[in-house]
Copies of this chain bind each other. A is one copy, B any other.
Amino acid sequence: MQIREAAADDWPRIWPFWHRVVSAGETYTWARDTSEEAARALWTSPPKRVYVVEDETGTLVASAYLTPNYGGPAARVANAGFMVDPDHAGLGYGRALAEHVLTAAKAHGFEAMVFNSVVETNPAVGLWKSLGFTVLGTVPEAFDHPRHGRVGLHIMHKTL
Contact = CB atoms under 8 A, between A and B. Distances in A.
Nearest to A29: B70
Interface residues of A, number: 37
Name the prevailing secondary structure of the A interface residues: strand
Scoring A28, A73, A139, A143 by chain B CB atoms within 10 A of each residue's CB, the highest score goes to A73
Interface string A43-73: 0000000000000000000000000001111
A77 interface: yes
A7 B34 CA distance: 30
A41 interface: no
Interface of A: 22, 25, 28-32, 34, 70-77, 111-112, 114, 116-117, 135-146, 153, 155, 157, 159
